[in-house]
Structure 1
C-alpha cells in the first residue's frame, strides 16, 4: 500500500468507527442526558491516548516515534507552545470536543438514529463551505463532483427515511458546522501530534460536558452506563479521531472529510445486521458515495506553487519530495528506508516547484 492509499484507508476506517456510534448512542440516551453522554464519549476518546503518554514518560515514545534531525532540536509531543497553533488547539477543543458532540446528542435525542446518520452528511458540506471561505481549500471540478454526489446520496437516503423534526435537524447541522471548523483547524495545525490533539479534545471537552451533565442530572450515573459510554467513545471517537487527524493532515480537510462522510452509511449498514431492511434507496446512495470517494481521492491538481520556509512537527516520510532533511545513521531504519513513517520537528526551506498535490498541510496556497 503506497503512502497516499494509506491515508485514504485511514480516512475510511475513521468513518466506519464513527458511523457505528449513532445507533449505540441512541440506545444510551434512554438513560443519559445529552451532556453526560457527549462527555463520556469524548472522555473515552482521550483515554485511547493514555498508553502513548505512559510510553512517553518512560522514553519509549521518543525512542520509537520521535527522532532527531540535524536542523532542529528534539521536542516532546506534549510540549505546549503559546502561539497561533495553541489558539487553534483551544478552538478545536471548543468546537470539536464540546459543542460538536453536545449538539449532536441533543439532535439525536429528538430524532431517530437512521435519520440522524443521514443528516451527518452535512458535515462534509460544512467542511467544504468553511474551507472555500476561510481556509484556502481548492475545490476543483473533481472534488466538486465528489461533494455533490455525496450530498445527493444523503438526500436519497433521507427521501426514504424522512427528515425528522426541524428542532433536531437544526442541532445536527450545528454539530456538523462545529466539526467542520474542527476539521479545517485540524488539517492546518502543526507542532502537535494527532495523539495530542485527540487527548486534549477528549479530556477537556469531555470533562466540561460531563461536569455540566452531572450538575443538571437528578441522579448519579450507573457504573455500567459509564463503562458503555467510555468504551463507545474510545472506539468511535478516540481511534476514529486519531485516524481522521492523520488523514486530514495528509489529504486536506475536504478530501479526508469525504472519506469520513461514509460514517452515516456505515451506521445505516450496521443497522441492517440488526434487522433493518436494505432498501433500494440505500443501495443507490451507497453506489453514489463509492463513486464520490474514488473520484475525489484519485484526481489531484498540478501547477507551479511556492513554499515559504517553515519549521513544524507532524507525521511524515521521505518519499514525497518535500521532506529532504537528513537523519544521522543512529536512526538506522529511517536512514535506510525513505518510506518509514516518523514524527519530529523539522525544517522546510523555501521552494518553488510543480507537481500533483492535494490541499494538505504543505499546500494551503492561493489559486
Structure 2
C-alpha cells in the first residue's frame, strides 16, 4: 500500500477521535477558547518537537511565493474552521457532527477539481454525491424544518468548507517541512483564538482540564495535520480528502460508545451512504500516459524513476534525503495520484 494512504488514514483516526473528546471537554469551556487551546496544544507541541529534531531553530524552506498560501491556510483552517465547529458542537450531537465532517472531503475534492484544476474522475464525483446524500439524511430535522435545528449542522458545514479551502491551500506548500507547516498553523491559530476568547470574557480552565485539552489538540489537530500534509504531498487534495473522510466513523463510534448518545434510523442510513461513498473513493485507480514538465523544488526523496539526478555535493548514499533538485522533462505511463510530481492537466 502507498505510504501516503497510511498517512491519510492515520491522520483520519487521530482527528476522528478528537471530535467527541472535544465535545466532552467543551462542556465547561467557551467554544472559541476550546478551539484556541486545541490548536495551541498542537502548535507548541509540534514546534517543540521540531526544535528537538533540528537541535535548534532552522529557517523554514518556503519560497516567497508560498507564504500567501500558508497564511491563507492558517486563516481558514486554523482560525475560522475550529471556531465554527466548536460553536456547532453546542447544538449538534457529537455522533452526528462526526458523520457530517465527511462533507470536508466532498468540498475539498470540489475545490480541487473546479478551482485548482486537480483531476477528479467519475468515481470521485460519484463518491462525493453519495457522501452528500448521507449528510442530507443526517442533517434533515425530521420534525419540521426549523432554523434552530439546522444551525448545528450548518455550523459543521461551514467548518468543513473552511478546512476544504485550507486543504487546497496547504497542498500548494506540501513539499515543505510538515512539522513547520502544522506547528506554525497551530501556534498562530491557537494564539488568535485564545486571545479572542479571553477578550470575550472566557476564563482559562484549571490545570486538570487544561492539560488534557492541550494533549487532545497535539494529537488530534497537530500530529494529525502533520500526517495529512505528508498525505497531500503524495496523493493530492481530492484523494487525501477521500481517505480522510474515514475520520468521522471513528468519531461517531466513540460518541456512541463513550458518550451514550441515542442512535436513530437516519443515523444508520447516513452512515451506510457515507460508507459506500468512502469505499468508492478508496477503490479509485488512475493511470495514463503523462508528461512531466521541468521543475525545481526541495523535499525528502529517493532516487526513483522521477528523481534521476546527479549531486553537486558529497553524498553518503543514504535515502531518503533532502536537497534542492531539478526535474528534467519526462513522458511515461504508470498508475499515479496527483502528488507533487503529477499535477498535470488532463485532456
TM-score, scaled to structure 1:
0.83
2:325 matches 1:362: no
Question: Would you say 1:167 and 2:146 are equivalent positions?
Answer: no
User: Which of 23, 27, 31 lines up with 1:30 in the alignment?
Assistant: 27
How many Å separate the matches in 2 of 1:283 and 1:168?
Answer: 19
1:13 aligns with 2:10: yes
The residue aligned with 2:51 is: 53
Answer yes or no: is the 8 Å Cα contact 2:292–2:331 preserved in 1.
yes
Structure 2 regions of 5+ residues with no counterpart?
A: none
The count of residues paired between Structure 1 and Structure 2 equals 340
Q: Which residue of 2 aligns with 1:271?
A: 255
Query: Aligned-pair RMSD on alpha carbons?
Result: 2.7
Give a deviation string over 1:16-56, Cα, whole Å, max 9, x none. Answer: 11111121211222221122111111111123322222221
Counterparts in 2 of 1:247-326, with a 5 A limit? 247-274=231-258, 275-276=260-261, 289-319=274-304, 321-326=305-310
Determine if the alignment matches structure 1 residue 138 to structure 2 residue 109. Answer: no
Cα shift readout 1:273-299 (whole Å, capped 9, x = no counterpart): 324567666666555555544443443
Q: Deviations over 1:77-123 (max 9, x none)?
A: x3254522111111111111111111111111222212222221211
Contact preservation (8 Å) 1:85, 1:190: no
Q: CA deviation at 1:249?
A: 1.5
90 and 227 in structure 1: CA distance in 2 versus 1, 3 angstrom threshold = same
1:71 corresponding residue in structure 2: none
- Other structure's SS at 1:165 match: helix
Shift of 1:183: 0.8
Uncovered stretches (5+) of structure 1, i.e. residues with no partner: 60-75, 335-340
Q: TM-score, normalised by structure 2?
A: 0.87
Q: For residue 241 of structure 1, report the CA deviation from its aligned partner.
A: 0.6
| Distance change >3 Å, CA 323–CA 298, structure 1 → 2 | farther
Per mean C-alpha deviation after superposition, the further-off stretch among 100-109 and 147-156 is 147-156
